[in-house]
Amino acid sequence: MAERSDMIPIYVMGKRYDVPSSLTIMKAMEWAGYTLVRGAGCRGGFCGACATVYRIKDDPKLYFGLACQTVVKPEMYLGQIPFFPAKRADYDITQLEPTATTLFKIYPEILRCLGCGTCTKACPQELNVKGYMAAAMRGDITTVANMSFDCIMCGLCAARCPAEEPQYNVALLARRLYGRYLSPRSEHLYQRVQEIQAGKYDDEIAELKSMNLEGLKQRYKARQIEA
Amino acid sequence: MTYTPEIHELIKFVEATRPQRVKQTFPSMPLEERQTLLNSFHPDFLDEGMRPIRVGNAKGNRMPNELADVLEGRPHLPASFDLSQPEIETDVLIIGGGGAGASAALHAQENGARVTLVTKLRFGDANTMMAQGGIQAADRVEDSPTTHYLDVIGGGHFNNIPELVEALVSDAPIVIQWLENLGVMFDKTPDGMMMEEHGGGTSIKRMHSARDYTGAEIMRTLRDEVRNHQNIDVIEFCPAVELVLDDKGQVTGAILMNLETEHYFYAKARAVILATGGSGRLHYQGFPTTNHYGATADGLVIAYRAGAEPLFLDTMQYHPTGAAYPEQILGLLVTEKVRGLGAQPLNIHGEQFVYPLEPRDVESAAFIRECRGRNLGITTPAGHPAVWLDSPLIDIIHGAGTIEAALPAMVRQFKRFNIDITRQPILVYPTLHYQNGGIKIDANCRSNVPGLFIAGEVSGGVHGRNRLMGNSLLDVCVFGRRAGEAAANYINGINLGNPTLNHLDAWNEELDSIGINGAVKSPILLPDYTRHS
């Protein structure tokens, strides 16, 4: 292999590899020869499979990122957290009520939160995890749901939490409670479902299904496009 | 990773034309011109990229070279593999842990079946999780399922199977209600109106969203609900490598592989639902892809080998707006919602050249024509062709702050590389996104193989030759639910015979008879991205 001028050393779980400096952590590991089984999912920043903890030589600080979205740095020491065994409660969403006590009835450990903010520091989505956990302690489901919305459930918050909180599962419960019970009801949706179940559109659709190609094309071209 | 000085110079052209463009959008293309454009510039029509498959019941059908290679592959195991001791026995085996598999699991258990859901990666590592822009359903007073039907079938070039389109559009509002009752947070106004936008090829605003995490919001909710049910077992990192038939030709389960220990074992079932998704990681014609790591056509491979009938495998969807810069996110999705909210595609002079919301195949072909045909594209620092997507226009049209509120994932994606999409346009180019065709199904997701049900991207016929935005999240829910219910009903009346893998002997003989010897072992399960490969 020809020498490249852009190579930098990184340490994957302690072992040194020289990799091109433009690569993401994930691509650098593959470049180094790893075939990923754990630790790679969507490869686009949405699934949380590639949560990574790293440190730079001589710097005591821990950094957090997604391997698919973070570019390698020289002297980076990295390890992946592809799975974290945080608690997830079982519940029947239809039997819950969205009250101020619901969250900590299901996750009593919420009340153990120290408010230290380590979760927020660890979040690769830069969410205010500490903030939504404070809202969870107040029983404010709506705030938890909105503040946590961009969570990808990678588990780094839970992995770092000294109070052993399953933050991302608390947030998921809050969003489901909000979506089912607290978001404003869409009357037009309920109306349309009733119409469909009453067969209102059956004849129109049957007509389209039986139409020949030319007729269908004419109907397609005649559609009004909403501005 | 900010834009280079050269790119900053080019952005000045975009900024110069912006005031004029706010007032005027490029007109849409007449139906007659679409086919001419596709024939000249869409990758599906590039003959070097396609070939006929040489084996199986669709012998002679044209498809991408890379797909034909894996469909013509050799099985992992011999037909003599021991089936006498199944390690799992269940009513309904669901293969695939995305939106279709999760929806199917919920409906199969609701209809009384014991369910085992197996998935190659983690539950939820799927294209559903990555779908950003939205989900279609005709639930506004001004809209109707009939109009949705017309949009779908016209977008599919009138090749869709009518019964499947009917199922898609008729179930759509029911699915939205179902999702909301499970706790999905759709974007709404304070009085409860769903906030709905256009997608490519829609005649009316019908795109429901959950910011630009629509698929993630649906997937994490479905996954959580599945985990709340005791009669659904979920087994991760266990892909299927073969379907098992009985001596009457009925499906009786699958051979699974523990991806971590490489142990193969038989999971016996009275019905199988295949929900394995698509094939973007085969990188047809060298295109980058928006797809998740596991999208390697596994389901197509094992179903085709077992005699299932494919449809429209010669048509793949190239999403118009894959990221073309920076290189680190090459090919990743820039959601169509960006255009739905008003961003316009532009050439190097900052000029519009296509209506922003044509059906995806037409839009992509227009981008390729602008770069390759007219030489009016931008060349990225790494040498890739690109056109502009003028994202800052969104805040000009809808007010400051709209981009941050409606597209947080996009803002975050580019901010990681020091590009501010609220102020700077984005460089984009078509990227491999979706498998339009798949295994042919009826409205109850039955394939031609008894006991084999199919749902989601691995199925064919719903979208004809081109899927519209927002109909894939809809598809996985509509047909996942239908498959779950149909499979749960099916198992009541069947008598299973003796399980066999005899179809593998027949398959190998067919490969031998036409001299296909160096074929790959398939399903391939994971793409190989190691440097030494």
Tell me the HSE value of B283 on the side-chain side, using a 13 A CA sphere: 11
Answer whether B530's CB lies under 8 Å from A33's CB.
yes
Q: Which residues of B are catalytic?
A: 319, 339
The DSSP code sequence of B267-310 is EEEEEEEE-----GGG-GGG--B-S-TT-S-HHHHHHHHTTPPE
Chain A hits for B157, Cβ within 8 Å: none
Cα(A159)–Cα(B438) distance, integer angstroms:
41
ipTM for this prediction: 0.97
For B334, the 3-state DSSP assignment is coil
For B226, the 3-state DSSP assignment is helix
Q: What is the pLDDT of residue A3?
A: 59
Whether A154 has a pLDDT exceeding 50, the answer reads yes
- Domains of chain B, start order: 5-41+319-432 (3.90.700.10), 91-315+436-500 (3.50.50.60)
Nearest to A208 among B150, B210, B329 (CB): B150
Answer whether B303's CB lies under 8 Å from B458's CB.
yes
A27 at interface of B, judged by CB pairs closer than 8 A: yes
Interface probe with B: pick from A30, A47, A81, most Cβ of B within 10 Å:
A47
Chain A hits for B169, Cβ within 8 Å: 205
Nearest chain A residue to B218 by CA distance is A176
Tell if the CB–CB gap between B530 and A33 is shorter than 8 Å. yes
Each residue of A34-70: pLDDT tens digit?
A: 999 999 999 999 999 999 999 999 999 999 999 999 9
- Side chain identity at B448, as an amino acid letter? N
Tell if the CB–CB gap between B180 and A179 is shorter than 8 Å. yes
- Interhelix angle for B162-182 vs B471-490, to 10°? 90
Q: What is the pLDDT of residue B532?
A: 66
Interface probe with B: pick from A128, A189, A208, A214, most Cβ of B within 10 Å:
A189
Map tokens 């869709």 to a residue.
B160
Residues 156-215 (A) with a CB less than 8 A from some CB of B: 172, 175-180, 183-193, 196-197, 201, 204-205, 208-209, 213
For B124, the 3-state DSSP assignment is coil
Q: What is the pLDDT of residue B517?
A: 82
Map tokens 């620092």 to a residue.
B381
- Strand stretches in chain A, DSSP E: 7-12, 15-20, 51-56, 63-66, 76-80
Q: What is the pLDDT of residue B475?
A: 98
Nearest to B228 among A70, A90, A183 (CB): A90
Cα(B324)–Cα(B333) distance, integer angstroms:
10
Whether B493 has a pLDDT exceeding 90, the answer reads no
For A154, the 3-state DSSP assignment is coil
Q: What is the pLDDT of residue A1?
A: 47
Residues 98-117 (A) with a CB less than 8 A from some CB of B: none
B183 at interface of A, judged by CB pairs closer than 8 A: yes
Average pLDDT over residues B93-99: 98
- Side chain identity at A17, as an amino acid letter? Y
Average pLDDT over residues A147-162: 97
Whether A29 has a pLDDT exceeding 70, the answer reads yes
- Measured in angstroms, the CA of B512 and the nearest CA of chain A are apart by 31
- Side chain identity at B471, as an amino acid letter? N
Two domains, one topology: A7-80 and A93-182: no
Chain B hits for A205, Cβ within 8 Å: 145-146, 149, 166, 169-170
Map tokens 């698509």 to a residue.
B278
Tell if the CB–CB gap between A41 and B292 is shorter than 8 Å. yes
Chain A hits for B174, Cβ within 8 Å: 193, 196-197
- Side chain identity at B23, as an amino acid letter? K
For A11, the 3-state DSSP assignment is strand
A218 at interface of B, judged by CB pairs closer than 8 A: no
Interface probe with A: pick from B160, B293, B411, B528, most Cβ of A within 10 Å:
B293
Cα(A21)–Cα(A12) distance, integer angstroms:
15
Interface probe with A: pick from B119, B139, B143, most Cβ of A within 10 Å:
B139
Each residue of B304-349: pLDDT tens digit?
A: 999 999 999 999 999 999 999 999 999 999 999 999 999 999 999 9
**Sign of the C-alpha dihedral, residues A131, A146, B129, B527?**
negative
Answer whether A26's CB lies under 8 Å from A40's CB.
yes
**Across chain A, what does the average pLDDT equal?**
96
Whether B409 has a pLDDT exceeding 70, the answer reads yes
**A101: exposed, middle or buried (C-beta count within 10 Å: 0-12, 13-18, 19+)?**
exposed
Residue B427, strand partner residues: B388
Q: Which of B223, B206, B96 is nearest to B147 (CA)?
A: B206
Whether A5 has a pLDDT exceeding 90, the answer reads no
* % of chain B exceeding 70 in pLDDT: 99
* % of chain A exceeding 90 in pLDDT: 96
Chain B hits for A49, Cβ within 8 Å: 121-122, 125
Residues 219-248 (B) with a CB less than 8 A from some CB of A: 220-221, 224-225, 227-228, 237
Whether B167 has a pLDDT exceeding 60, the answer reads yes
Nearest to B182 among A38, A88, A180 (CB): A180
Q: A28-32 long-range contacts, Cβ below 8 Å, gap at least 24?
A: A28/A72, A29/A67, A30/B529, A30/B530, A30/B531, A31/B530, A31/B531, A32/B531
Residues 56-85 (A) with a CB less than 8 A from some CB of B: 69-71
Chain A hits for B407, Cβ within 8 Å: none
**Across chain B, what does the average pLDDT equal?**
96
B198 secondary structure, DSSP code: -
Tell if the CB–CB gap between B192 and A184 is shorter than 8 Å. yes
Cα(B489)–Cα(B94) distance, integer angstroms:
15
Nearest to A179 among B184, B237, B528 (CB): B184
Q: Which fold has domain A7-80?
A: Ubiquitin-like (UB roll) (3.10.20)
Instruction: Tell how far CA A28 is from the center of its chain.
Output: 23
Q: Which fold has domain A93-182?
A: Fumarate Reductase Iron-sulfur Protein; Chain B, domain 2 (1.10.1060)
Domain boundaries, chain A: 7-80, 93-182, 189-221
Chain B hits for A170, Cβ within 8 Å: none
